[in-house]
């Protein structure tokens, strides 16, 4: 028993030494002396209680840490592991309390909290084979094969350049994801335009153009038939067109924000107008696609043209005054660094923002769910992650042209210029969202950590047409991809749009299920007459080029 107690103490002592070093580093920051003393006293008291409890139980700790990383029976059955997990959680609480106590401006505190949380998550005992009793038992049961398989999967992930979050061999774009029938009817160096095959005998005369985010692939809106937003829109009788952005390579590394507006959205609008014979079309933008769409419509409005009969924005920023956790990554120095390395000011010429870098950034916003969970499962336990279409899409990253990305970074996240009418010019025109006269349907997700719902709500103050705001449950992706047949989650509505988003929520009514039917009912009112569905895709000037989903979406970063 003494050996057991000693072996338990040594790694615990090591963990204590690490947290002691971190506490000392944090203490050198501006923390009030009385607060620091109180935290140190509290820490020593709780650490002593843990140790005494472990000793008095004869090394058989009954502690069961309330954390899913340590929820398996192996942790509770192994007294050393249970003790280490408890010490780790105490250290984590103490470090976060220290970070919270630093006297600094809010952005500095947010960065400090983020850095401390990253360190805490990375040093969890569950992430190390020597401390993880689940992985150890599996290694014993398999005669070491789980470790060998974990090493093979680690080498495979190194070769492919990213951590596997799902069994990617199960999926293929165009075979079992992105399968809604359609045709590519136009392409240029920036995007392909897909027209989807009607699923009804009649369609609304006014078509729907969807502008997806360019920072990832459009088929998040067309994963499987039973959760495809695109298919749902087609089933509602709409003639649907979707932009499929090109995965940027060196040949288009020089492209700018203006190019994405002029040769991207505005060009797509022109094709849809000509193909449908309609001067105005219904439009939808998702995430950064909403920012790009609204900018394009503002450019056209400055030229005296109202090309959109309606605008739908899904989890989109127009006002970047509160960008949530992403704000910690952006300041003048970081933006200048991007401009000097991949932007127009780069001494070696424009470059690319690599899609894998973006994907890694978003994953580390939720590291336990999207990073360490797979490190433990894939490498320590030798498990193959189960197939999941959304995580396959999440790993299918896209590159962006450096100049385009740098303009976006400076004028939105850093300076929030788009909210000031006329402050910036795009395609030679002053941008003023207030000139867009179309009615708007604005959707946000309540637990969105990418676009906080209050920031999406701020679009109601910038757009001057008739507006409807809907708040859905869950996060940035799961809140949007919520098909009615699954009858999951809920959403909130209310007709009034007070200036304060919390006042809106206080007066909102919760509805069970998906928000999609609410949007479909709203969009039907803007579709115009119902006419016979077109027999063939495209137009004499825009004949089909290839079947959907097209070549562009299949290009890997």
| Number of residues written out for the chain | 557
Which residues lie below 8 Å from residue 272, measured CB to CB, with a gap of 6+?
A: 193, 207, 209, 241, 278, 281
In the predicted structure, residue 20 carries a pLDDT above the cut 60 = no
pTM: 0.90
* 275 Cβ neighbours under 8 A, 6+ residues apart: 185, 195, 207, 241, 538, 539, 542
**pLDDT for res 31:** 85
Task: Tell me the residue ranges of DSSP E strands in 216-331.
Answer: 240-245, 281-286, 308-314
* Mean pLDDT for the stretch of residues 393-422: 96
State how far the Cα of 354 lies from the Cα of 246, in Å rounded to an integer: 13
- To the query of whether residue 406 is one of the catalytic residues in this protein, the response is no
Which domains, and CATH codes, for the chain? Answer: 2-132 (no CATH), 182-326+415-554 (3.40.50.1820)
The pLDDT score that the predictor gives to residue 346 is: 75
Alpha-carbon gap, residue 285 to 442, rounded angstroms:
10
Lowest mean pLDDT among 52-61, 295-304, 509-518: 52-61
- CA-based nearest residue to 302, from 242, 351, 337, 261: 261
In this prediction, residue 64 carries a pLDDT of 58
Predicted local distance difference test score (pLDDT) of residue 60 = 54
Where does the pLDDT of residue 205 fall: very low under 50, low under 70, confident under 90, or very high at 90 and above?
very high
Most confident of 156-160, 370-374, 484-488, 508-512: 508-512
Give the model's pLDDT for residue 58. Answer: 58
Residue 292 tokens read as 């790009």
Do 351 and 253 touch, CB atoms closer than 8 A? yes
Single out the catalytic residue among 214, 287, 406, 427: 287
Number of other residues whose CB lies within 10 A of the CB of residue 57? 14
- Of residues 34 and 53, more confidence is placed in 34
Rounded Cα distance, 354 and 363, in Å: 15
pLDDT of residue 27: 55
- Distance (Å, whole) CA 442 – CA 447: 16
Q: Which of 81-95, 124-138, 500-514, 520-534 has the lowest mean pLDDT?
A: 81-95
User: Percent of the chain, pLDDT > 70?
Assistant: 93
Report whether pLDDT(19) > 80.
no
Residues 180-192: pLDDT tens digits? 999 999 999 999 9
pLDDT per residue as tens digits for the range 125-144: 999 999 999 999 999 999 99
Distance CA 1, CA 5 (A): 6
DSSP 3-state of 174:
coil
Provide the pLDDT for residue 225: 95
Query: What CA–CA distance (Å, rounded) separates 470 from 244?
Result: 26
Q: Please give the order of strands across the beta sheet that includes 490-493.
A: 509-512, 490-493, 467-472, 440-445, 308-314, 281-286, 208-211, 240-245, 191-196, 182-187, 546-547
Residue 11 has pLDDT above 50, yes or no: no
List, for residues 282-331, the tens digit of each pLDDT value.
999 999 999 999 999 999 999 999 999 999 999 999 999 999 989 999 99
- Choice between 43 and 196, residue whose per-residue pLDDT is larger: 196
- Give the pLDDT of residue 57: 65
Q: What percent of the chain has pLDDT over 90?
A: 77
pLDDT of residue 76: 84
């Amino acid at each position: 028993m003494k050996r057991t107690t000693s072996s338990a103490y040594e790694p615990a002592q090591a963990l204590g030494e690490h947290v002691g070093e971190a506490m000392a580093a944090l203490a050198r920051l501006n923390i009030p002396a009385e607060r620091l003393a109180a935290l140190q006293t509290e820490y020593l008291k709780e650490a002593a209680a843990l140790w005494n409890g472990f000793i008095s139980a004869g090394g058989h700790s009954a502690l069961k840490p309330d954390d899913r990383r340590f929820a398996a029976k192996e942790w509770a059955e192994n007294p050393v592991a249970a003790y280490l997990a408890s010490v780790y959680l105490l250290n984590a609480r103490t470090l976060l309390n220290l970070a919270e106590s630093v006297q600094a401006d809010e952005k500095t505190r947010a960065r400090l909290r983020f850095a401390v949380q990253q360190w805490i998550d990375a040093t969890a005992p569950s992430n190390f084979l020597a401390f993880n009793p689940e992985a150890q038992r599996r290694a014993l049961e398999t005669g070491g094969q789980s470790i060998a398989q974990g090493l093979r999967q680690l080498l495979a992930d190194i070769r492919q350049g990213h951590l596997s979050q799902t069994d990617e061999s199960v999926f293929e774009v165009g075979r079992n994801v992105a399968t809604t029938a359609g045709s590519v009817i136009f392409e240029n160096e920036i995007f392909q335009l897909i027209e989807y095959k009607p699923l009804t005998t009649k369609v609304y005369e006014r078509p729907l153009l969807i502008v997806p985010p360019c920072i990832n692939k459009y088929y998040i809106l067309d994963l499987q038939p039973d959760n495809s937003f695109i298919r749902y829109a087609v089933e509602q009788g709409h003639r649907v067109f979707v932009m499929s952005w090109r995965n940027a390579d060196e040949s288009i590394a020089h492209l700018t924000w203006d190019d994405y507006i002029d040769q991207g959205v505005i060009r797509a609008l022109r094709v849809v107008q000509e193909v449908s014979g309609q001067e105005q079309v219904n439009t939808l933008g998702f995430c950064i696609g909403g920012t790009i769409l609204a900018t394009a419509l503002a450019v056209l409005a400055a030229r005296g043209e109202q090309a959109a009969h309606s605008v739908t924005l899904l989890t989109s920023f127009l006002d970047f005054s509160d960008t949530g956790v992403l704000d910690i990554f952006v300041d003048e120095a970081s933006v200048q660094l991007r401009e000097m390395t991949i932007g127009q000011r780069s001494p070696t010429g424009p470059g690319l923002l690599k899609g894998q870098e973006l994907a890694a950034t978003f994953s580390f916003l939720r590291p336990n769910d999207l990073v360490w969970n797979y490190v433990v499962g894939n490498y320590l336990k030798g498990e193959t992650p189960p197939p999941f279409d959304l995580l396959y899409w999440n790993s299918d990253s896209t590159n962006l042209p450096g100049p385009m990305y740098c303009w976006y970074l400076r004028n939105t996240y850093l300076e929030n210029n788009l909210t000031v009418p006329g402050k910036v010019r795009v395609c030679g025109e002053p941008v003023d969202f207030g000139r867009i006269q179309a009615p708007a349907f604005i959707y946000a997700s309540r637990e969105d950590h990418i676009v906080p719902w209050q920031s999406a709500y701020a679009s109601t103050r910038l757009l001057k047409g008739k507006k409807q705001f809907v708040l859905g449950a869950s996060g940035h992706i799961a809140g949007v991809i919520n098909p009615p047949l699954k009858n999951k989650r809920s959403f909130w509505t209310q007709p009034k749009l007070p200036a304060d988003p919390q006042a809106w929520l206080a007066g909102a009514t919760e509805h069970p299920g998906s928000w999609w039917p609410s949007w479909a009912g709203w969009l039907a009112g803007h579709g115009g007459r119902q006419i016979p569905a077109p027999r063939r895709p495209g137009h004499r000037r825009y004949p089909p080029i290839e079947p959907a989903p097209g070549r562009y979406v299949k290009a890997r970063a």
